[in-house]
């Protein structure tokens, strides 16, 4: 397939996944606000995961729920806001309309038009849960359409590769924010507030129920183990990397089986597959996540070099 088209489909997958993760992060923080009344939830960590704080303070005087939601959802100046992600996904879809199914295009375009309705910010603030749920549903709908209506060929593998790399990136960010920014003080580990917060992290990646089927205790170590190393939870870092590797192999074989991106991804995947959580925590969870994020970034660049240029 055309390199330009492959590039667009890869980013289409990434942007839709990113929109979903931003919605998840926001939704959970809103839920926490209900669980812990009397306390204004800090939005900085979410802003930090889903965008960046500098950009926020350039446009907004102070952190309030309304400002944070506006910045993260409807601010077109913020490239990671939901509206920016959906617009970018649509732009990529528009560039490859002839290559994707009409149903996929219509789903993306409809949601884009809905978000751009001038009434939408008001409605979202009035009923945020329903709104952020609709963003998640949109992402799941598109993933379903991609799965169900597109030939599982190179194009499909590029979409999946984009989705999986983005998801790996987002899961690691969410875990890191909780571990590093929310709770730098080790003495608070294990307190009631702490459990509520860890549950919130699990919920934000849709892992709450699945986690509890495997673990009886919500400890930071268990949560990190689940979100990084679970072999079958579909948002864990290990799972995402394994799936990404399958797609990348399908893309590269047999013509480009010596692509450097395959080597990079293989190393990252085996790191997650053959490490234990004890080893990771001992040498520093934050450091490990940071390393993974740098590697993911390098991987993106290498994929671009191998296939898109």
Which residues of this chain interact with other proteins, rule CB under 8 A? 1-6, 91, 94-99, 102, 105-106, 109-110, 113, 154, 251, 255-256, 307-308
Q: Where does 43-153 have alpha helices with state H?
A: 44-50, 53-59, 65-69, 82-95, 102-115, 120-126, 128-149
Q: Would you state the structure tokens that stand for residue 177, as one six-digit string?
A: 């924010």
Residue closer to other proteins (CB basis): 63 or 120: 120
CB of 204 to other proteins, least distance (A): 31
Q: What angle do CA 113, 116, 122 make, to 5 degrees?
A: 130
CB of 180 to other proteins, least distance (A): 38
d(CA 194, CA 199): 9
Q: What angle do CA 243, 246, 249 make, to 5 degrees?
A: 150
CB burial readout 270-284, b (16+ within 10 A) else e: ebbeeeebeebeeee
Residue closer to other proteins (CB basis): 94 or 249: 94
Q: Is the dihedral of CA 125, 127, 133, 135 positive or negative?
A: negative
CB of 165 to other proteins, least distance (A): 16
CB of 122 to other proteins, least distance (A): 21
Please name the residues in contact with 90: beta carbons below 8 A apart, sequence gap of 6 or more: 108, 109, 112
Residue closer to other proteins (CB basis): 216 or 257: 257
Residue closer to other proteins (CB basis): 126 or 309: 309
CB of 154 to other proteins, least distance (A): 6
Residue closer to other proteins (CB basis): 55 or 120: 120
d(CA 291, CA 264): 13
CB burial readout 4-26, b (16+ within 10 A) else e: ebbbbbbbbbbbbbbbbbbbbbb
CB of 257 to other proteins, least distance (A): 11
Residue closer to other proteins (CB basis): 32 or 303: 303
CB of 10 to other proteins, least distance (A): 10
Burial of 54 (0-12, 13-18, 19+ CB in 10 A): exposed
State yes or no: cis peptide before 254, omega within 30 of 0. yes
Cα 179–chain centre separation? 17
Give the Å distances, CA to CA, from 278 to 11, 177, 217, 282, 290. 35, 20, 16, 6, 17
Residue closer to other proteins (CB basis): 44 or 91: 91
CB of 211 to other proteins, least distance (A): 38
Residue closer to other proteins (CB basis): 1 or 63: 1
């Amino acid at each position: 397939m055309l390199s330009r088209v492959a590039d667009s489909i890869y980013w289409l997958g990434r942007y839709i996944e990113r929109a979903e993760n931003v919605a998840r992060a926001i939704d959970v923080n809103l839920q926490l606000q209900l669980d812990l009344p009397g306390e204004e939830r800090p939005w900085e960590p979410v802003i930090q995961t889903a965008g960046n704080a500098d950009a926020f303070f350039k446009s907004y005087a102070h952190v309030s729920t309304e400002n944070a939601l506006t910045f993260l959802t409807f601010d077109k100046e913020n490239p990671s806001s939901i509206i920016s992600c959906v617009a970018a996904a649509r732009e990529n879809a528009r560039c490859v309309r002839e290559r994707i199914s009409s149903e996929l295009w219509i789903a993306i375009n409809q949601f884009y038009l809905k978000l751009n309705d001038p009434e939408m910010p008001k409605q979202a603030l009035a009923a945020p849960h329903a709104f952020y749920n609709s963003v998640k549903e949109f992402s799941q709908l598109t993933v379903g359409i991609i799965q169900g209506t597109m030939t599982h060929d190179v194009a499909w593998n590029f979409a999946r590769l984009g989705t999986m790399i983005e998801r790996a990136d987002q899961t690691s960010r969410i875990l890191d924010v909780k571990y590093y920014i929310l709770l730098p003080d080790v003495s608070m580990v294990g307190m009631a507030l702490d459990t509520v917060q860890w549950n919130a992290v699990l919920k934000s990646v849709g892992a709450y129920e699945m986690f509890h089927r495997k673990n009886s205790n919500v400890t930071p170590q268990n949560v990190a183990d689940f979100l990084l190393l679970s072999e079958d939870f579909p948002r864990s870092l290990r799972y995402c990397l394994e799936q990404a590797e399958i797609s990348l192999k399908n893309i590269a074989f047999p013509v480009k089986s010596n692509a450097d991106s395959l080597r990079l991804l293989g190393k990252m995947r085996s790191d997650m597959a053959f490490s234990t959580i004890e080893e990771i925590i001992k040498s520093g969870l934050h450091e490990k996540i940071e390393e993974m994020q740098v590697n993911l970034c390098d991987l993106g660049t290498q994929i671009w070099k191998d296939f898109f240029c």
